[in-house]
Amino acid sequence: MANKEKKISEGLEHMELAAKCLKTSFFKWKPDLDGAVSEYGKAAVCFKNGKALEKAREAYIKTADTQCQANSHFHAGKSYEQAAMICRDMKDHDQAAHWAVQASNFFLEYGTPDTACSALERAGKMIEPVQPEKAIELYRRAQDVAEMEDRPRQAAEMAGKVARIYIRLKKHEQAYTALEKEMTLWSGVENFPMVNKLVVAAVLLQLHLGDYIAADKMYKSSMSVPGFGSSEEAMCLEELLTAYDEGDQEKATEVLRRPIIRYMENDFTKLARDLTVPGGRVGTNPNPTDGAGETVGDDEDDEYSGGLC
């Protein structure tokens, strides 16, 4: 406790010194911005070490404001990002998002859009477990920045994060829209293997929504994707959609248990696990296989939760 109090006391001293640096007088016409930045930065570290998080946040914000006055926008962005991290430790997720956005704006002004995207992505990861909707806003903002700066790969990654959060929130229509955007972006950089995987996810989503026609349309329209028609994904989807069309639950279950679907990302494998053919008939085979000749038992569901992510 004594050490914490000592650190807080040191922080207060640095804050006073920073204020003196900013004062002007008859003999001192200009504030000492560099000196104030240094003292505010030292104060922030002291407060952080002393677990005085509110004071640490204030010190980081003052550091950033002073750096802004000195036209040091990149470093101001870094200080605002530190303020966002402090807000995360305080469980103040709205403020964490606010200062992360502020940081990204300064990074953009400085001309480093990649750093701006990274700041928004880090903030999204910080608050995603507790405020997924707010995380979606941050990822979408990062996606917009990446697209504006002609960074389609980074934009695709952000669109993917949005889609997967929507799936977890069971907002499947919004997830489908985000998946379509992700597919478009990956197609633009000719990452067709990734597009093939996303086609499978999109078909699973439409089937989950009970729209076989839309799922079949997605499958057929994807034949224009280079290499999709001869891919394992296409063959798997063709069998799955045929099983749905014929109302064959047993066949659909067998297809959905194949490794190409079972080892997708968790968010997608969970969709596959929950799928049932409307009015589907069940065959006489009590032990369907997984497509590789392996018998599937009652405890097979556990394998869905593994995934590769």
pLDDT tens for 201-248 read: 999 999 999 999 999 999 999 999 999 999 999 999 999 999 999 999
pTM over 0.75: yes
Q: How many residues does the chain have?
A: 309
Distances (CA, A) of 80 to 63, 76, 98, 113: 8, 6, 9, 16
CA distance 182 to 147: 12
> Has residue 10 got a pLDDT over 60?
yes
* Tens digits of residue pLDDT in 15-57: 999 999 999 887 778 999 999 999 999 999 999 999 999 999 9
State the DSSP H helix or E strand holding residue 117, giving kind and residue range, or none if neither: helix 113-127
Q: What is the tens place of the pLDDT at every residue in 71-84?
A: 999 999 999 999 99
Question: Is 44 in contact with 52 (CB distance < 8 Å)?
Answer: no
Q: What is the pLDDT of residue 2?
A: 78
Tell me how many degrees the CA angle 305-308-309 measures, rounded to the nearest 5.
Answer: 85
Question: What pLDDT does 274 receive?
Answer: 83
pLDDT above 50: residue 288: no
Under the banding of pLDDT at 50, 70 and 90, the label for residue 290 is very low
End-to-end CA distance of the chain: 42
The angle formed by the CA atoms of residues 105, 176 and 224, to the nearest 5 degrees, is 105
Q: Which domains are seen in the chain, by residue range?
A: 1-71 (no CATH), 91-190 (1.25.40.10), 193-283+301-309 (1.25.40.10)
- What's the confidence (pLDDT) of residue 303? 40
Condensed to tens digits (0 to 9), the pLDDT of residues 102-150 reads: 999 999 989 899 999 999 999 999 999 999 999 999 999 999 999 998 9
